[in-house]
Amino acid sequence: MSLMIGFYGLAIVIAGSLVVAGVLLLTQERRVPGNAHLALFLVGSGVSILWAILPRFDRFVAPGPELARADHPRLFQRIEKIALATGQEMPESVYLVPDVNAWVSRRGGFMGFGSRPILGLGLPLLATMSTAEVEAVLAHEFGHFHGGETKLGPWIHKTRAAIGRTIAMLQQRRRSYLRLPFVLYGNLFLRLTHAVSRRQEYAADALAAKMVGARPLASGLRRIQAVAMAYDAFLQQEIGPAVAAGYRLPMAEGFFRFVGAAPVAASLERAVEARSRESTASAYDTHPPLRDRLAALGPLPDEVPGEQSGRAIELIERVADVEERLLGWMIRGKPAANLRPLAWEAAGATVWVPSWRRFCAENAAVLRERTPETLPTTRADLLAVGHEIARSQPARDEATFLREANGLLGSALVLALLDSGWSLTADPGAEVEVTKGDARIRPFTVVTELAAGRLAKAEWLDACSRTGIGSLPLEPAAPPIASVDGARSSAG
pLDDT digits (tens, 9 = 90+) for 179-188: 777 777 777 7
Q: What is the mean pLDDT of residues 29-50?
A: 72
Residue 366 lies in a domain: yes
One domain for residues 390 and 311: no
Shared domain for 220 and 298, answered yes or no, is yes
Residues 238 and 131 in one domain: yes
State the chain's mean pLDDT as an integer: 84
Considering the domain architecture, whether residues 41 and 119 belong to the same structural domain is answered as no
Of 202, 161, 148, give the one whose Cα is nearest residue 52.
161
Print the domain residue range for 364: 344-467
Name the strand (E) or helix (H) holding 411.
helix 398-418
Asked, for residue 319, whether it belongs to a domain, the answer is yes
Q: Examine residue 217 and state whether it is found in any structural domain, yes or no.
A: yes
- Same domain membership, residue 83 and residue 118: yes
| φ/ψ (deg, to 5) at 433 | -135, 140
374 belongs to a structural domain: yes
Tell me: do 47 and 168 sit in the same domain: yes
Average pLDDT over residues 347-351: 94
For residues 88 and 486, which has the higher predicted lDDT (pLDDT)?
88
- If one counts the domains in the chain, the total is 3
Q: What angle do CA 365, 369, 371 make, to 5 degrees?
A: 115
Last residue of a domain, one of 299, 330, 361: 330
DSSP 113: B
Residue 483 maps to a domain: no
462 in a structural domain: yes
Q: Which tens digit of pLDDT belongs to each residue from 209-239? A: 888 889 999 999 999 999 999 999 999 999 9
Q: Categorize the per-residue pLDDT at 248 as very low, low, confident or very high, splitting at 50, 70 and 90.
A: very high
User: Do residues 250 and 366 share a domain?
Assistant: no
Looking at residue 333, its pLDDT comes to 59
Q: Does residue 107 sit in helix, strand or coil?
A: strand
- The reply to whether 200 falls in a domain is yes
Whether residue 400 sits in one domain with residue 436: yes
Which of 81-85, 179-183, 225-229, 422-426 is predicted least confidently? Answer: 179-183
Return the pLDDT at 479: 55
| Residue 467 in this model has a pLDDT that exceeds 70 | yes
250 pLDDT more than 80: yes
The Cα 40–Cα 402 span in angstroms is 60
Same domain, 108 and 220: yes
Q: Is the pTM of this model over 0.85?
A: no
Quick one: 87 and 199 in the same domain? yes
| 102 pLDDT more than 80 | yes
pLDDT confidence tier of residue 306, bands split at 50, 70 and 90: low
User: Are 115 and 223 in a shared domain?
Assistant: yes
pLDDT of residue 483: 43
Domain match, 93 and 204 both: yes
- Does 476 reside within a domain? no
Which pLDDT score is estimated for 391?
73
Q: Which strands make up the sheet holding 102-107, listed edge to edge?
A: 66-67, 93-97, 116-122, 102-107
**The predicted structure's pLDDT at residue 418:** 96
Q: Sign of the C-alpha dihedral, residues 140, 146, 147, 149?
A: positive
Point out which residues pair with 106 in neighbouring strands. Answer: 117
More confident residue, 155 or 417: 417
Mean pLDDT of the 122-135 span? 94
Lowest mean pLDDT among 33-37, 64-68, 400-404, 448-452: 33-37
Which of 166, 191, 216 is where one domain is finished?
191
Run of H or E including 190: helix 176-211
